[in-house]
Amino acid sequence: MDQPPVVLITGASAGLGEEMARQFAALGYDLALCARRTDRLEALRERIVAEHPGRRVSVRALDVTDDAAVFAVFQQFADEWGRIDRVIVNAGLGKGAPLGTGRFDANRATAMVNFVGALAQTEAALQIFRAQGHGHLVLISSMSALRGMRRSMTTYAATKAGVAAIAEGVRSERIPGVDVSVIYPGYIRSEMNEHVTQKTRFIVDTPVGVRAMVTAIEKRKVKAYVPAWPWLPIGAALRVLPLSIVRKMV
């Protein structure tokens, strides 16, 4: 009997990563989950196994800014499962401050997690995919990546633009057997943005937003703005409108 496909998700202890884990389990995937907070991961594993008897879930601690740990943990998962069919580069940080206001520490932390951490995860995933001859690399970007953003969003948006560029570069390489997707979520309620959700237009609840993400991932779309409404037309507009109008939109 064929074994279920295995999906590895980073940043799986909360927010979008946690909900992706639950939804992929419902679709029949076995799960390799990692994040810094192992207590949250263990609770998630127990919940998934209770909801979906027979699903197998493996969890490991991982700080994606620890390069050596990224490579070690990914390989440990690959050794444990015998393969990894999909890697979702999801771990992220939303700290930030306007540039030049004395909070370089916050902006640097965001850059290290969101971009350098994503680079390490991509390297580790592709080493596994090249060796086994197949795999689906998914990088979680953001609608904010489409244009430069102001104030506390400047660094975050820049890192997510970098993530999208990594995805496009890898896809351009056409590695045999490897598919690459980049997902641009709009405003989805999560632990990262819980302090601003009441002020944000177009925001959707986590299960709804993640369902759109998972659907796009399952279709192996090259890129997807999710949820499609209203973010598909907004994404098209963001790319061409003057910054003076972009500032009022997002």
- Give the model confidence (pLDDT) of 179-216 as tens digits: 999 999 999 987 655 555 456 677 899 999 999 999 99
**pLDDT band, very low/low/confident/very high, at 1 (cuts 50, 70, 90):** very low
* Mean pLDDT computed over 60-72: 97
Terminal alpha carbon distance of the chain: 49
Residue 18 half-sphere exposure, CB side, CA atoms within 13 Å? 20
Confidence check: pLDDT of 58 > 50: yes
Active site residue 187: no
Q: Which residue is catalytic, options 29, 156, 187, 225?
A: 156
Burial class (CB in 10 A: 0-12, 13-18, 19+), 103: middle
Distance CA 55, CA 109 (A): 35
Distance CA 246, CA 143 (A): 12
Helix (H) or strand (E) holding 163: helix 154-173
Q: What is the dihedral of CA 114, 117, 123, 127, to 10 degrees?
A: -120
pLDDT above 70 coverage of the chain, percent: 94
Q: Which domains does the chain have, with CATH numbers?
A: 6-249 (3.40.50.720)
What the block records as the tokens of 164 is: 């999208």
For 137, 139, 244, the CA distances from 146, given in Å and listed in that order, are: 20, 15, 15
pLDDT value, residue 48 = 97
Whether pTM exceeds 0.85? yes
pLDDT above 90 coverage of the chain, percent: 80
Distance CA 116, CA 168 (A): 16
CA-based nearest residue to 2, from 97, 111, 83, 96? 83
Provide DSSP, 96-137: ---TTSS-HHHHHHHHIIIIIHHHHHHHHHHHHHHHHT-EEE
Helix (H) or strand (E) holding 53: none
- What contacts 9, CB < 8 A, 6 or more positions away? 17, 20, 21, 24, 31, 32, 33, 34, 88, 90
Question: What is the per-residue pLDDT across 23-47, written as a single tens digit (0 to 9) for each?
Answer: 999 999 999 999 999 999 999 999 9
Look up tokens 């570069």; give the residue.
169
pLDDT value, residue 197 = 45
- Yes or no: say if 10 and 86 are a contact pair by the CB < 8 Å rule: no
